Amino acid sequence: MGIGKLSAVAVKQAKPAERPYKMTDGGGMYLLVDLKGGKYWRLDYRFAGKRKTLALGAYPSITLAEAREARNKARKLLDENTDPGMVKRVEKLTAHHKAAHSFEAVAREWHGKFTPNWTAHTAEKNLRILEINAFPWIGPRPIDEIKAPELLAVIRRAEGRGLLDTAHRLRMTAGQVFRYGIATGRCERDIAADLRGALPARRQRHFAAITDPLKFGQLLRDIWSYQGQFSTACAFKLSALFGLRPGEIRSLEWSEVDTASGQIRIPLGKMKSRRLHTVPLCRQAAEIFDALRPLTGAGRFCFPSLQGTDRPMSENTINAALRRLGYDTQSEQSAHGFRSSFSTMAHGSGLFRVEVVEIQLAHKHGDAVRLAYDRGEYIEERRKLMQWWADECDRMREGAQVIPLRGNTAA
C-alpha cells in the first residue's frame, strides 16, 4: 500500500468539481474536496469487521503533514486493537466534561444562581474580581484538579500588587465557588478554606469623615460653592443631606423620587441590606431634585454618566469632587464619610432615638423579628430627623449656632 502520494502543492491547488472527489494519500487517508471547495481530511479503516471513517480535520487548519501524523497515530491504535474513532469520541466527551467543570464555568454558574440575592453593585464586584484576578490563570482548569498552592499563587498576585483587601475578598469569593462546586458534585473540597491565615490580616478601614460641626460647616460652604457639572453639584449636596451610601445616591432613578409625597423609595435590589428603604425628603433636598429634573428628568437616572445616559455617574465622582476642593479623601473626608458625619451629629444631638437614626442609615439592628416590623416604622420620626439635619446643615453652612454634641457615636 503506497503512502505519501500527495504533495502540499497539489493539496493547495485542488479545485472544486461538478461532484465531490477524493485525493488519496495512501494508508486509507484522503482529501475530500466538496462542491464549494471545502477540503477535509478523512481516514477509512476497518475495525471488528466493519468499515469506518475517521475525520482528521479540515485543510488548511490541518496541514498535510499534520494529517499524516494523525493517520499514523490512528494506525498505531488499530495495531493495538483499539478503535481510533472511539478514542476520539471519548476525548471529545472528556474535553467537554472538563470545560463544563472548569473553575470559570462553575464560577459563572454560581454567579448567575445567586445574582438575584445581591445588589447590582455586589453582583458586578463578585464577577469582576474573578475575571481580573482568577480566570486568566485557573479559569480553564477543572475545578476538582486545582490545589491549594495553585489558588494561593493566584491570590498572592493581587497581594503583590498591594491589593490586600482584594486578595482577601478573592479568597472568600473563590471559597464560595468551591462550596458551590461541592454542592453540585463538581469537586469534593473547599481548598480556599485551607488558605486561612496565609495572608496578612487586613487593616481595619474607617472612611475619612469630618465630625466637628465647625469644620463640617466649612465643608458645606465649599460644597455649595462647587463649580463643576450641575448634576454632580446636586449629587454632592445630597450626599451631605441624605446619609445614604455613595452607590445608592449615584444610582438613584427618577422613578424612585417622589417630591410630591416627600420621599424616595429605593428597591431592595439596590440596597446593601437588601430591603426596601424609604428616605424622607427634607425641603432642601426636594428643591434640589426640582432644580435637577429639567436637566436629567427625561432619562432613567437622576445622575447619569457623562459617557451615556443609560448608566449612572461613576462611583468615583464625589470623591473626585472632594479632591478638587482640596480635601484628602483618605484622611479628611470621603464620599462614604458623609454617613459618619450625619450619624455622629444626629446621635450626638440626643434628640432622636438610636433606632430612628440607624434605620435612616439602613443599618440592621435588633433581632430578626424586630427587623421584620421596623421596615415601616418611624417614618414620621425619620422625616423630622432629616428636616432637622438639613436645617442644621444650613445653620452650619451659614456659620450660625452649631450642633451641641452629647456624645461622639460614629456610624
Size of the chain, expressed as the number of residues it contains: 411
245 in catalytic set: yes
Catalytic residue among 245, 382, 383, 397: 245
Catalytic residue among 111, 336, 347, 383: 336
- How far is it, in rounded angstroms, from Cα 280 to Cα 261? 9
Report CA-CA distances (Å) from 101 to 88, 127, 408.
20, 18, 53
Q: For the chain, give me the number of helices (H) and strands (E)?
A: 17, 9
Q: Which residue blocks in 82-134 are alpha helix, DSSP H? A: 84-100, 103-114, 120-133
- How far is it, in rounded angstroms, from Cα 319 to Cα 239? 11
98 in catalytic set: no
Give the 3-state secondary structure of residue 188.
coil
Torsion of CA 250, 256, 258, 259, to 10 degrees: 0
Residue in the block written with cell 443609560: 310
Q: Which three cell numbers stand for residue 345?
A: 451629629
Q: Which three cell numbers stand for residue 98?
A: 472538563
Catalytic residue among 42, 272, 300, 323: 272
- How far is it, in rounded angstroms, from Cα 221 to Cα 249? 20
Catalytic residue among 339, 347, 382, 397: 339
Distance of CA 189 to the CA centre of its chain: 25
363 in catalytic set: yes
Q: Which residues neighbour 73 within 8 Å (Cβ) at sequence distance 6 or greater?
A: 84
Contact 77, 90 (CB under 8 A): no
336 in catalytic set: yes
Give the 3-state secondary structure of residue 29.
strand
Beta bridge partners of 279: 264
Contact 262, 281 (CB under 8 A): yes
Q: What are phi and psi of 23, to 5 degrees?
A: -115, 110
Other Cβ atoms less than 10 A from the Cβ of 191: the count is 20
Contact 67, 100 (CB under 8 A): no
Which residues have a catalytic role annotated? 245, 272, 336, 339, 363, 373
